[in-house]
Amino acid sequence: MLFILFIRGVTLPGAADGILYYVYPDFSRLADSKVWMDAGTQIFFSYAICTSTIVAMGSYNRFHHNCYRDCLILCSVNSLTSFFAGFVIFSVLGFMAHEQGVDVRDLALDGPGLTFIVYPKAIAQMPLAPLWAILFFAMLVVLGIDSEFVGVEGFVTAISDIYPKLRQKYIRESFIAAVCFSYFLIGLLMVTNGGMFVFQLFDNYSASGATLLWFCFFECVAVAYVYGADRFYDDIEKMLGYRINPWCKWCWKYISPVVCAGIFFFSLATWAPMEYSDINYVFPAWSEGLGKVFLPYHSFVLYPRFSMSSGWMMALASMLCVPGYILIKLFTTKGSLKERLVFLARPQYNDRHLRRQRTATDHVT
């Protein structure tokens, strides 16, 4: 589908301008924290990092499965596909800019606008446009359901590991049905009159941006400094039969946590109210914190300064789980403060954890 859209896109007038705008670098944008946040969010979503899905899916592999090879293939295919999709999008953006007589940068389309404006615009220029439109949106539905499968599986697997009784037959199915129904109810908020505002809130403050950077930092610290980067490195050698590039170990210990922490704090220092660019709507901070359900459409609204307060409550609902659990364990463990820190920072490790692998019957969804 992307290849067909690419062929049609590059034949449209103005496509070359859009492609040149896509491939021409603007190094001044590297000083913008939002660029780093958007790039980090895209990478986290593309590879499902810190969302439990990779861990959940990987737990069904054989112990000696070559996960290192899978990682290299996945990263290469994903990045190349995203790069190729950029040519498809910007060839059509160049055509749209040519039609409107404006520069490509002035179109200001992002998020859902790319899916529901740019791609349909390309499809409308094709022969048998209704047929291609049906195929395109059917593809979107299939891709969405496929992503939802692994998202639900990651959550269900994590909860089932904590409460093993949920793995029993019929109980697991009932639990999955309850999770899916809960997702459905939350999704209904996004098809109301103010649904796009709700979608933007979830897109910016739930499992994205700073939230994922926060979790990635703590995961790197847990693996590299609590469990031990060398021990984790040796475990991978036991699985694969050879030692992987030591660059991975340096990333776990130094590069990844420093980059995640740097982008996170830089984004805090340059924080600004969220905007919905399609109608120039600026979100008040209280709505960013508590979320909105039904919002009328306004062109521009000014709110009192006191409302510009806790804009991250939606994100903090999950972010505080990590330091909160650390504090709970720290206060409930016996011994002096030093003894508690040493005990809690000691990994629970033995060969049984390495030998353990899930059976096919565990995988229901």
Instruction: Report pTM.
Output: 0.76
Confidence of residue 306 (pLDDT cuts 50, 70, 90): very low
**Are the C-beta atoms of 92 and 119 separated by less than 8 Å?**
yes
The reply, when asked if residue 46 is annotated as ligand binding, is yes
Range from 138-152, 238-252, 282-296, 305-319 carrying the lowest mean pLDDT: 282-296
Chain segment 38-54, per-residue pLDDT in tens: 787 778 878 888 888 88
Q: What is the pLDDT of residues 192-204, one digit of tens each?
A: 887 777 777 777 7
**Cα distance between residue 136 and residue 299, in whole Å:** 32
Using an 8 Å Cβ cutoff, are 91 and 12 in contact?
A: yes
Instruction: Tell how strand 281-282 and strand 275-276 pair up.
Output: antiparallel
Residue 259 neighbours by CB under 8 Å, 6+ apart:
none
Confidence (pLDDT) at 254: 92
State how far the Cα of 152 lies from the Cα of 148, in Å rounded to an integer.
6
What is the predicted pLDDT for the residue at 182?
A: 93
- Tally the C-alpha atoms within 13 A of residue 242's C-alpha that lie toward its C-beta: 6
Tell me: is residue 146 an annotated ligand-binding position.
Answer: yes
User: How do residues 134-183 score in pLDDT, each as one tens digit?
Assistant: 888 888 888 888 888 888 888 898 888 888 888 888 898 999 999 999 98
Asked if residue 143 belongs to a known ligand binding site, the reply is yes
Do 311 and 285 touch, CB atoms closer than 8 A? yes
- C-alpha pair distances (Å), 108 with each of 20, 105, 111, 217, 244: 17, 6, 10, 32, 43
The answer on whether 147 is annotated among ligand-binding residues is: yes
Q: Kindly tell me the number of DSSP H helices and DSSP E strands found in the chain.
A: 19, 2
Q: Which long-range contacts (CB under 8 A, 24 or more apart) does 314-317 make?
A: 314/201, 314/202, 314/205, 314/206, 314/288, 314/289, 314/290, 315/205, 315/206, 315/209, 315/210, 315/211
State what percent of residues in the chain have pLDDT above 90: 8
